[in-house]
A = this chain, B = another copy of it.
Amino acid sequence: MSHTLGIRQAQKQKTRQALQDAALQLLEEQSLSSLGLREVTRAVGVAPTAFYRHFRSTADLGVALVEEALGSLHPMIRTTVSTAGDSAERIERAVELIARHVDAYPAHVRFIARERHGGVQPVREAIRDQLARFAEEVRAELAKDPVSAGWSDDDLLMLAHLYVDQMLSTASLFLETLDAPEDERARVAGLARRRLRLISLGRLHWNGG
């Protein structure tokens, strides 16, 4: 049960969220590695020292952003690779879902793509861990599919990671088409579908390592 927060805790969470939102916006044109604590507080309109009430450092802020950006994605994953429908339908559904997600949370997608290999170790690790959880869920979902008969767990995990990577790569491509003409977005969608189709073909003919 969710206990209603006091005025005090509520206000604190509000400022904290404001800091995260401001950071996410500032990170459109730079990396977390160069994000300054004062820069963030200035954008929110709060004293620099208030930052420490919420985060130890900007790296700590970054880890919180990873949770925000990826934590809410887990339920979506399951429906994305759900075994319902034939292969073409599933691919179409997945690409569509990715496109919508990029539209809804472009800053989140940019942040993850940028910091996955970025210059701040704790953030890299947080992203790696979350993506590993994703891959594990995808693997579990793939295992339900009769196509996966004869597959080792290791091979299934390999395939799951391949799908997760494709998801991120596709999201990153969609990100670049956000302020591009519609036909450019359609081209990316077509490209993503063909890539998934090729991987699915390889999956169908997998001989088992």
Listed in ascending order, the chain A residues whose CB lies under 8 Å from chain B are: 27, 29-34, 110, 113-114, 116-119, 121, 155, 158-159, 162, 165, 169, 172, 191, 194-195, 197-207, 209
Contact = CB atoms under 8 A, between A and B. Distances in A.
Most interface-central of A33, A206, A209 (chain B CB within 10 A): A33
A182 to B, nearest CB: 19
A129 B143 CA distance: 39
- What is the copy number of this chain in the assembly? 2
Given A27-B119, A33-B33, A194 B169 contact: no
A135 to B, nearest CB: 12
Nearest to A175: B117
Given A34-B34, A169-B165, A198 B117 contact: no
Contacts of A165: 165, 169
A198 B206 contact: yes
Given A158-B191, A162-B195, A205-B205, A118 B31 contact: yes
Contact of A204 (B32, B116, B117, B205): B205
Contacts of A195: 158, 162
A155 B197 CA distance: 11
Contacts of A205: 201-202, 204-205
Nearest to A110: B117
Most buried by B among A27, A165, A195, A209: A195
